[in-house]
Structure formats: structure tokens, C-alpha cells
Amino acid sequence: MYAEIQAAWTRELAELRAAPTVRKAYRGLAPCLTRHGITAADEPGLFALADRRLAADRTDADLAGTYATCMAPIEAARAPLRTRQRDRFIAAHRAQLQELRRTLPARVHRLEADLGIRLSFPAV
């Protein structure tokens, strides 16, 4: 059930990119990256650059700061949409979410004991 709910929520989040206000905000990403000296046309291009740097044992701290700066307008556009989407999702999946809250912590604790590892998750 966890994988099903996670996949459904991921699909919901992916739909945010198509919202007109979010698409408009994304148009400013490449120019912002360029102003910060980073040559990438979009988010995947920025992550590809980060991957190349990591593969060459180079730092990507400047990429992280620039990413946060350049994504701020996009996050501002997405945040209210995500909140409304979350509220609808919770209402539509209430029973499944309640079942997960009831059963998942015990399952994780059993896995921790069986595997000898410590996992972290929010308290219910």
C-alpha cells in the first residue's frame, strides 16, 4: 500500500509542472542560472552538470546555492498549488493513509530488528 500511495502522490506532484503559473516561473530558470555563471538550459541540465562535477571529484556547493536562488520563484508558484493538492489528496486517500499510519511504524521497527539497521521516520 505504501508504494501505491507514494506513486499516486508522485504523479500528483508531477502535474504541478504543467500549471500555468509554474510553467511561467520555470521560464526564468535558465536566465537565472546564466546570471550566476552556470550553463544549463533547465533543471535536468543543472543536475547533469552536478553529476559531471561529482564524477570528477569537484565540488558542487555553488550549484546548490544557485539552484536554491533560481528555484525560489518556482517554489513560490508551486507552494500554494501543492498545499491545495495535498489537502485534496489526503481527503481522497484518507482510509489508506490512516491504515499506513496504523501499520507502517510497527513494520519498520520489525525490519530494523530483523536487518540490524536503524531507519528514521517521522513520529505519528
| pLDDT of 124 higher than 60 | no
Do 61 and 116 fall within a single domain? no
Chain centroid, CA 26 distance in Å: 16
pLDDT digits (tens, 9 = 90+) for 18-50: 999 999 999 999 999 999 999 899 999 999 998
- Quote the mean pLDDT of the chain: 90
CA 97 to chain centre: 19
pLDDT computed for residue 106 by the predictor:
87
Task: Return the half-sphere exposure (C-beta side, CA atoms, 13 A cut-off) of residue 77.
Answer: 18
Per-residue pLDDT at 72 exceeds 90: yes
Q: In this structure, are residues 82 and 16 in contact, taking their beta carbons and an 8 Å threshold?
A: yes
106 and 47, same structural domain?
A: no
Alpha carbon of residue 73 to chain centroid: 16
Report yes or no on whether pTM surpasses 0.95.
no
Same domain, 61 and 118: no
Residue 8: pLDDT band (50, 70, 90) is: very high
Task: Verify that 108 and 87 share a domain, yes or no.
Answer: no
Pairwise CA distance, residues 12 & 81, whole Å: 11
pLDDT attached to residue 95? 96
According to DSSP, residue 41 is labeled S
Are 48 and 108 within one domain?
no
pLDDT above 70 (res 105): yes
Q: How far is CA 117 from CA 8, 10, 83, 113, in A?
A: 28, 27, 34, 7
